Amino acid sequence: MEVHAFLFSGNQYLLLLLLLLLIIPSMPHPATSAVPVDNSTDLSSLLAFKASTSDASGLIAANWTTDASFCTWIGVGCSLRRPRVVSLNLSSFSLQGTISPQLSNLSVLSSLDLSNNSLSGTIPDTLGGLPRLATLLLGRNLLSGPIPRSIFNMSSLVSIVLSSNNLSSSLPTRVLLPRIQDISVTDNLLAGHIPADLARCSTLQRILLGGNQLTGSVPSSLGNLSELVDLSLGENQINGAIPASIGNLTKLRLLSLAFNDLEGEIPQEMGNLVNLQELYLHKNGIAGSIPISLWNASKMVMLSVSANNLTGPVPATLGNSMQFLQILRMAENALSGGLDFIASLTNCRKLEVTTNHFEGVLLDAYGNLSTNLQYFHVSDNNIKGRIPTGLGNLSSLISLALSVNELRGTIPTTLWRLKKLQVMYLGKNKLTGPIPSDIGLMTRLSRISLGENELSGQLPDSMGNISGLQVFDAPVNKLSSTIPLSIWSLQALITLNLYQNRLEGLLSPQITKLKAVDYIDLWSNRLSGDISSALGEIQSITYLDLSNNSFHGQIPQQLGRLSSVKYLNLSHNFLSGVIPKSFSTLSYVTSLDLSFNMLEGEIPEGKVFSNVSITSLVGNRALCGAPKLQFPPCPANVMTSNSSTKLRLLKYVLPSVASVLVFLACFVSL
Ligand SMILES: *[C@@H]1O[C@H](CO)[C@@H](O)[C@H](O)[C@H]1NC(C)=O
Ligand SMILES: *[C@@H]1O[C@H](CO)[C@@H](O)[C@H](O)[C@H]1NC(C)=O
Ligand SMILES: *[C@@H]1O[C@H](CO)[C@@H](O)[C@H](O)[C@H]1NC(C)=O
Ligand SMILES: *[C@@H]1O[C@H](CO)[C@@H](O)[C@H](O)[C@H]1NC(C)=O
Ligand SMILES: *[C@@H]1O[C@H](CO)[C@@H](O)[C@H](O)[C@H]1NC(C)=O
Ligand SMILES: *[C@@H]1O[C@H](CO)[C@@H](O)[C@H](O)[C@H]1NC(C)=O
Ligand SMILES: *[C@@H]1O[C@H](CO)[C@@H](O)[C@H](O)[C@H]1NC(C)=O
Ligand SMILES: *[C@@H]1O[C@H](CO)[C@@H](O)[C@H](O)[C@H]1NC(C)=O
Ligand SMILES: *[C@@H]1O[C@H](CO)[C@@H](O)[C@H](O)[C@H]1NC(C)=O
Ligand SMILES: *[C@@H]1O[C@H](CO)[C@@H](O)[C@H](O)[C@H]1NC(C)=O
Ligand SMILES: *[C@@H]1O[C@H](CO)[C@@H](O)[C@H](O)[C@H]1NC(C)=O
Ligand SMILES: *[C@@H]1O[C@H](CO)[C@@H](O)[C@H](O)[C@H]1NC(C)=O
């Protein structure tokens, strides 16, 4: 009975509901009776959006007025048949504020582009309810919070770009996007794993997840995405090995796994990626050799595998198989064998194989490489022989790095034909002979590094023509001449590093013409004469080492004006007189060394000298004061009575001289 009654009352409700459904559509709309419900909903959605944002230029405030149909509003696109909003594009409008959840009432919206604004807050969960949305572009904003789960369950979505925001949390494990082609969430704060479920989106052509904090491994299921063209997972914390299934992505054009924690070897199967144009694997822990078949990827333009643990040789015919290769980066690995492959790289613009175990000689034939070659970096290998004169034919070269090898012989004069060269690193080889005076023809040079060779002869006067020179680094050679005055006219010079040479003569007061200089190291040369008081005018300098030379005379009072100096070393010269009182005002000095000169008199008080250790003052003639450092008190303070002066002097001076001697003995025996 009871059951029957229940069913009956249920039927009654159903009838009521049916009646209601029939009546409602015919009821007049309360506010705008003439307008169908859906177009007023669009209007109120847009007005809600307008209310939640502001644009700096006031364009939307002025344009989005109810005087005109919203279909004429800037950024709004309507369907051809009805006044319904199908697209909203306010990209690069300098919009601030939040994304109104009411946007989800634009029920026929198919494209929403709000990229490149300053929108903040979260992405409304309701957007996932837009039944026709195909394009959702919210990249380059200040959006935060998680990506709503609802967005990964939209049957119409084709393209979603949320890159360059502050989105956090993880990607959902469940992904249901049957039409999706393009997913980009690069440069956010996303954590967690890469969803293996992405593999179910068989229409995917592009997955860009780089620049997040993703962990875990690369799901092998991604190998099922046969339409995939671009896969970028770089700059995350992805670990494990590269799955062999990647080799099934034969349409792949771009693969980036750089800046992760990948280990293991590059799978042989990757040799199947015949359409690959860009491969980035740098900064991982990938070991083993590069599969032979991968060297055959004939469309490769950009190959970057630097900073891994790769071993093995590079095929000599590389350039024949990779005919379009423009950039080859293999630095910081353990690659070995010959460098013959270089001669085959006729289209290469940038070649970087620094810090490997390549051996052999540089061939003259490299001069026949593409005239497009701009970067030739083979530093830190086991290269022997001479620098080939042919390199002078590489007329587009901007950067040449041959340092840390075993190159011998002279620097070829042909190099000075490289008129575009900006960087020349030849340091740490066994080069001999002079620095050719033609160096002055390379007027674009900004960095020259020749240190730790066996170069001899003069510093060429012509260097003064290299007006943009910022770094001149040639320490530990046998250069023997005066420093040409033209060097001081290099207005852009920041670093002058010539320690351990045989440079002689005076340090010209013209040194003050170096207006930008930060670092001067002339330690251990044969410079002599006075230290020019003009040095005090080089306000920019932070590092000055003139030690182990033959400077004499007094330390100029003006050195106290070197207000930025942090490191000042004048030790092991023949400087005499007193330490200028002005030194007590040097406020940034963290290291000061005046030891082993002929200085005398009172050690000034002040910040510098309260931090300085006794080692920086030992070996002088007669310094006094600074009781903390156990120097004797100065005579002026001691002279209480004439008779006791000598006694006191003996009493104080002798022990301290003795202690210095003991100290020195310890120092020497160390
Ligand atoms: C709003 O901007 C559109 C497109 O620039 C323009 O056609 C329309 O006339 C403007 N409407 C108003 C009210 O300014
Ligand atoms: C709403 O639609 C009606 C006709 O269907 C049209 O006359 C009116 O201009 C539309 N309103 C807006 C704001 O576009
Ligand atoms: C939005 O407008 C910009 C600038 O006019 C354009 O570059 C972009 O392709 C548009 N977005 C969409 C989804 O059509
Ligand atoms: C982004 O918007 C700014 C103006 O807010 C514009 O100057 C810039 O060109 C836009 N960038 C892109 C990539 O559209
Ligand atoms: C529009 O959407 C909001 C939130 O999504 C909802 O609360 C509201 O009822 C909707 N408005 C209309 C007119 O449909
Ligand atoms: C996906 O959306 C459909 C409706 O569009 C809903 O029925 C289903 O429960 C959703 N699935 C998930 C996993 O959220
Ligand atoms: C993005 O997030 C970081 C870390 O949570 C925070 O420091 C930063 O202020 C945020 N930036 C914006 C624009 O919200
Ligand atoms: C790839 O797809 C096949 C069927 O199309 C399925 O059997 C297999 O499990 C998928 N592999 C992965 C790793 O998801
Ligand atoms: C590649 O695809 C083939 C055929 O679809 C399949 O048999 C094979 O297991 C896949 N290889 C990998 C490594 O997933
Ligand atoms: C290379 O291998 C060595 C020894 O196996 C290891 O110590 C080192 O961390 C590895 N380097 C990288 C970049 O993974
Ligand atoms: C690479 O290509 C060459 C011809 O260009 C071919 O002889 C060789 O067998 C190929 N090697 C591999 C491993 O596919
Ligand atoms: C460089 O090429 C020219 C002409 O193509 C040729 O005559 C010359 O022998 C080549 N030089 C070297 C060192 O291979």
Residue nearest to atom 9 of ligand 6 (CA): 153
- Measure 335 CA to ligand 10 centroid, in angstroms: 14
Contacts of 315 (CB under 8 A, 6+ apart): 292, 295, 321, 341
Residue 396 predicted with pLDDT over 60: yes
Judge if the beta carbon of residue 153 lies within 6 A of ligand 6. Answer: yes
User: Which structure tokens are listed for 415?
Assistant: 């190099």
649 vs 31 pLDDT, higher one:
649
Q: What is the pLDDT of residue 512?
A: 92
Specify the pairing of strand 53-55 against strand 261-263: unpaired
Q: Tell me the mean pLDDT in the region 615-620.
A: 89
* Confidence label for 642 from pLDDT (cuts 50, 70 and 90): very low
Cα distances (Å, whole numbers) of residue 146 to 2, 53, 130, 428: 50, 21, 19, 52
Q: Tell me the mean pLDDT in the region 465-481.
A: 96
Judge if the beta carbon of residue 501 lies within 6 A of ligand 3. Answer: no
Q: Tell me the mean pLDDT in the region 207-219.
A: 97
Q: Which tens digits make up the pLDDT trace of 340-377? A: 999 889 889 999 999 999 999 998 878 777 788 999 99
Q: What is the pLDDT of residue 659?
A: 55
Q: What is the pLDDT of residue 30?
A: 36
Q: What is the pLDDT of residue 550?
A: 97
Judge if the beta carbon of residue 364 lies within 6 A of ligand 12. Answer: yes
Judge if the beta carbon of residue 91 lies within 6 A of ligand 3. Answer: yes
Cα–Cα distance between 134 and 140 in angstroms, integer?
19
* Ligand in nearest proximity to the CA of 197: 8
Q: Tell me the mean pLDDT in the region 313-338.
A: 95
Cα distances (Å, whole numbers) of residue 550 to 132, 523, 567, 598: 84, 11, 20, 12
Q: Tell me the mean pLDDT in the region 492-511.
A: 96
Residue nearest to atom 10 of ligand 1 (CA): 63
Q: Which tens digits make up the pLDDT trace of 627-638? A: 777 888 887 654
Of 234, 230, 231, 240, nearest to 212 (Cα)? 234
* Ligand in nearest proximity to the CA of 112: 3
Q: What is the pLDDT of residue 216?
A: 97
Pocket test for ligand 2, best of 29, 32, 33, 35 (most atoms within 8 A of CB): 35
Residue nearest to atom 13 of ligand 2 (CA): 69
CB-based contact 297:325 (threshold 8 Å): no
Pocket test for ligand 8, best of 201, 224, 269 (most atoms within 8 A of CB): 224
Q: What is the pLDDT of residue 369?
A: 76
Q: What is the pLDDT of residue 656?
A: 54
Q: Tell me the mean pLDDT in the region 507-516.
A: 92
Question: In 150-216, where do the E strands start and end?
Answer: 159-161, 166-168, 182-184, 206-208
Q: What is the pLDDT of residue 6?
A: 41
Judge if the beta carbon of residue 388 lies within 6 A of ligand 12. Answer: no
- Measure 144 CA to ligand 7 centroid, in angstroms: 8
Cα–Cα distance between 630 and 652 in angstroms, integer?
9
Q: Tell me the mean pLDDT in the region 228-243.
A: 98
* Confidence label for 12 from pLDDT (cuts 50, 70 and 90): low
Contacts of 152 (CB under 8 A, 6+ apart): 128, 171, 172, 174, 175, 176, 177
Residue nearest to atom 3 of ligand 1 (CA): 74
Judge if the beta carbon of residue 199 lies within 6 A of ligand 8. Answer: yes
Residue nearest to atom 13 of ligand 4 (CA): 116
Residue 51 predicted with pLDDT over 90: yes
Judge if the beta carbon of residue 540 lies within 6 A of ligand 6. Answer: no
pTM tops 0.75, yes or no: yes
- Measure 247 CA to ligand 9 centroid, in angstroms: 8
Residue 478 predicted with pLDDT over 90: yes
Residue 658 predicted with pLDDT over 60: no
Which amino acid would we find at residue 144?
Answer: S
Mean pLDDT of the chain: 89
Q: What percent of the chain has pLDDT over 90?
A: 76
* Ligand in nearest proximity to the CA of 188: 7
Which amino acid would we find at residue 529?
Answer: G
Q: What is the pLDDT of residue 589?
A: 87
Q: What is the pLDDT of residue 636?
A: 65
For the beta sheet containing 526-530, the strands, ordered from the edge strand earlier in sequence to the opposite edge, are 504-506, 526-530, 550-554, 574-577, 598-602, 622-624
User: Which structure tokens are listed for 629?
Assistant: 């450092």
Q: Which tens digits make up the pLDDT trace of 517-562? A: 999 999 999 999 999 999 999 989 999 999 999 999 999 999 999 9
* Ligand in nearest proximity to the CA of 140: 4
Q: What percent of the chain has pLDDT over 70?
A: 89
Sign of CA dihedral 407, 411, 416, 421: positive
Contacts of 340 (CB under 8 A, 6+ apart): 316, 360, 363
Can you give the residue ranges of every domain in the chain?
A: 40-133
CB-based contact 383:429 (threshold 8 Å): no
CB-based contact 336:359 (threshold 8 Å): yes
Rounded to a whole number, what is the distance in angstroms from the first to the last CA of the chain? 109
Pocket test for ligand 3, best of 93, 113, 159 (most atoms within 8 A of CB): 113
* Confidence label for 37 from pLDDT (cuts 50, 70 and 90): very low
Q: What's the CATH architecture for 40-133?
A: Alpha-Beta Horseshoe (3.80)
Residue 209 predicted with pLDDT over 80: yes
Residue nearest to atom 11 of ligand 9 (CA): 245
Contacts of 65 (CB under 8 A, 6+ apart): none
Q: Which tens digits make up the pLDDT trace of 179-201? A: 999 999 999 999 999 999 999 99
* Confidence label for 280 from pLDDT (cuts 50, 70 and 90): very high
Residue with tokens 């190291």: 521
